Structure 1
């Protein structure tokens, strides 16, 4: 069998025998306009134009696998469906009516669908390959595929925009505060993303703005992270502990539990203790990082340079409190920097453009992604095995969007490639 979206595709592109169509009651049907595909609630196609019998109708079209689905979905009680002029189904098994008790004309497509088309659709939908159409990608030109990727990149940025916008509402539309939260999340990478989010949530940015001195910012962050609860014989640790006690009492702060932080399987340079110091050094200079970023010259290098920070002096010889190590500078590495640009900087520039209608920020966001190296992960490896190579993060982000939101859920009918392959049959 198939899903309802296949019937949507069949109707939208008239991929069925359109001659000698009749309703289940024997009236002839001529399709003037199939209507506009509706992706939201309500009838599936708006503003269709059909000639049924001797009468030309303008209205909506609803599509189901079985006509009885109309009643299952309670459309007979929903006035939003009173303007439906045709019920298109694969199989007719029940008469349907609207809220006015008027019979809705029904078109059954079971005998009108090309079996070869259905066979190729099944091959895509039931493919066990990670990329269902992977062995047919050569049927789509490079130009067409790249155009589709450009659209997918914008879709991915739009998806991230929705997430950021929801957080903005919680933060009273404060972009700097929201940027601060996302910055912390991605500084934690996947392993410590949650505790870093909690740390930002429990430590309002305005406190850092009031106490921007290095010792205060580090004390605040390490204390709120739960790292200053021990009693170590370490001079710097004790200085931080004393400063945090003052700030905690002053602002009635609540620390998170130290046990939430993960160190195992991490490289020492990725230890949360190191990342917290890097964040502290970044914030002591520029608490309102997003605002600072907007002040910079609008080029990639200036933005990258802003985030190229390193730890305070203590952490040159430490990875954890009280445990000395060989002296080594600990700067934000290329991998983390690229991750921040992809997941924080570019999406926030996209959001800012949406709020202020300044198109130059979309161009800057895209430019940042185009000048950021391609990501390396299992999804990109799968694409590479199919001959799809990536030169930058703009392309890898688009390929991730394609894989996660089209290939994996088998939304081939919503994908340009899937449509191209089926339309060629």
Structure 2
């Protein structure tokens, strides 16, 4: 038995017609089941009910076992002093208030309608993909639209938490935080953490000082990435090596202790190329944070797409191995990943903190970007879930990780809809 099922039963009043009684034998007549907030504190706020003909107003706490009250240390938490009813599945222990009086307790399993319990057990069957896979195609397109927008806003709030944490580390320096997180996403999943370490070792103020000298920028990023330590006869390598030695001493820099990953990466995703694309963008774009500060700029131009690696890297993926000329500019698909995972979330947080309501504008941007393609989006397509934009793909990725994988079916609009049917 899961606590979310008990929340569902109480929230949607899925009780049979049997008169309710506490384990103490007192009759309960509920006027208001309370408001479910899903935050710290009692599960349902501001409930109203008659218990033994006396009207009570307060909060309702729900547990699988009555003893969970003490397991969760509610007896010492002031937030639970106003609980008027303890709703449990198993009454394995009497629960007392701080003043020694017993809290009225309702054993919910005595009052759950049989069809509700049967429907819940259908969800518990082991699925191939997700628990509602046999029913999800009954969820209509309008309901999907509303649910995806809610999921996308939850996703943006998740991004908000990360950005707020980053701001704390940079003493509320928006530009530095954006620089770190943008560079991190240039490294994608495999080298993202490594690129983030580069950003911490190589602060933005130093990058700005050397911004107009592309060779200096290349030396700074490759040197900090520990990619200029080998011995080779490559002339450009030796030039950058000497340049970095000078800049390292000038700015008292340190290098990342480890090395980035090349293994199993396509050459266009090699860390050398992604770093050089970032260098090209920084070299051409003096005001990096304008991508966040002015959301409308994304509609008329995108400076990132103009970032082409320098001449040496147009004929090299690594030092010393030449190939035919390729410009290796940032592709539209890679640019979209940066938009989805860094630029748009930063716009959302920055303008929300300025008091500007940009939610609709941000959601429209997500709707204008093609959906991502991966094993999870492929699975939802197989289940006939419509995916036509990055808002759709981001929503189902968030849904899978934060609802399906942790079995939050009864907090999900799809699960609630199917259970109510």
Residues in 2 aligned to 1:417 and 1:147: alpha-carbon distance in whole angstroms: 11
Alignment partner, residue 30 of structure 1: 29
Deviation at 1:230, TM superposition (A): 2.5
Distance verdict in 2 for CA 1:292–1:350, change over 3 Å: closer
* 8 Å CA contact retained: 1:79, 1:98: no
Question: Of 330, 333, 349, which residue of structure 1 is paired with 2:331?
Answer: 333
Q: TM-score, normalised by structure 1?
A: 0.94
Distance verdict in 2 for CA 1:38–1:153, change over 3 Å: closer
Residues 140-198 of structure 1 show CA distances to partners (whole Å, capped at 9, x for unaligned) of 22111111111111111111111111111111111211111111111111221121111
Residues in 2 aligned to 1:230 and 1:139: alpha-carbon distance in whole angstroms: 60
Alignment partner, residue 242 of structure 1: 242
Which SS does the other structure have where 2:188 is aligned? Answer: coil
Alignment partner, residue 294 of structure 1: 293
Q: 1:132 and 2:94 equivalent?
A: no
Alignment partner, residue 281 of structure 1: 280
Alignment partner, residue 156 of structure 1: 155
**Which has the larger displacement, 130-139 or 63-72?**
63-72
Residues in 1 aligned to 2:148 and 2:163: alpha-carbon distance in whole angstroms: 23
Residues in 1 aligned to 2:169 and 2:291: alpha-carbon distance in whole angstroms: 22
Alignment partner, residue 205 of structure 2: 206
Distance verdict in 2 for CA 1:189–1:72, change over 3 Å: closer
Which SS does the other structure have where 2:189 is aligned? Answer: coil
Distance verdict in 2 for CA 1:316–1:76, change over 3 Å: closer
Q: Where do residues 3-152 of structure 1 align in structure 2 (5 Å cutoff)? A: 3-152=2-151
Gaps of at least 5 residues in structure 2 are none
Deviation at 1:7, TM superposition (A): 1.0
Alignment partner, residue 321 of structure 2: 323
Deviation at 1:13, TM superposition (A): 1.3
Residues in 2 aligned to 1:104 and 1:393: alpha-carbon distance in whole angstroms: 49
Moved over 4 A (4+): none
Alignment partner, residue 192 of structure 2: 193
Residues 15-38 of structure 1 show CA distances to partners (whole Å, capped at 9, x for unaligned) of 112542111122111000111124
Residues in 1 aligned to 2:266 and 2:395: alpha-carbon distance in whole angstroms: 29
Residues in 2 aligned to 1:188 and 1:207: alpha-carbon distance in whole angstroms: 20
Deviation at 1:79, TM superposition (A): 3.5
Residues in 2 aligned to 1:10 and 1:62: alpha-carbon distance in whole angstroms: 13
Question: Of 348, 351, 354, which residue of structure 2 is paired with 1:353?
Answer: 351
* 8 Å CA contact retained: 1:187, 1:196: yes
Q: TM-score, normalised by structure 2?
A: 0.95
Q: RMSD of the alignment, in Å?
A: 1.8
**Which has the larger displacement, 140-149 or 224-233?**
224-233
* 8 Å CA contact retained: 1:75, 1:98: no
Which SS does the other structure have where 2:87 is aligned? Answer: strand
Residues in 2 aligned to 1:82 and 1:194: alpha-carbon distance in whole angstroms: 45
Deviation at 1:115, TM superposition (A): 2.3
Question: Of 376, 386, 389, which residue of structure 1 is paired with 2:386?
Answer: 389
Distance verdict in 2 for CA 1:31–1:272, change over 3 Å: same
Residues in 2 aligned to 1:335 and 1:232: alpha-carbon distance in whole angstroms: 34
Distance verdict in 2 for CA 1:154–1:296, change over 3 Å: closer
Alignment partner, residue 412 of structure 2: 415
Alignment partner, residue 183 of structure 1: 182
Deviation at 1:350, TM superposition (A): 0.7
Gaps of at least 5 residues in structure 1 are none
Residues in 2 aligned to 1:307 and 1:168: alpha-carbon distance in whole angstroms: 27
Q: Where do residues 358-377 of structure 1 align in structure 2 (5 Å cutoff)? A: 358-360=356-358, 362-377=359-374
Residues in 2 aligned to 1:366 and 1:89: alpha-carbon distance in whole angstroms: 41
Residues in 2 aligned to 1:52 and 1:295: alpha-carbon distance in whole angstroms: 58
* 8 Å CA contact retained: 1:183, 1:344: yes
Residues in 1 aligned to 2:52 and 2:355: alpha-carbon distance in whole angstroms: 50
Residues in 2 aligned to 1:155 and 1:365: alpha-carbon distance in whole angstroms: 13
Residues in 2 aligned to 1:185 and 1:88: alpha-carbon distance in whole angstroms: 47
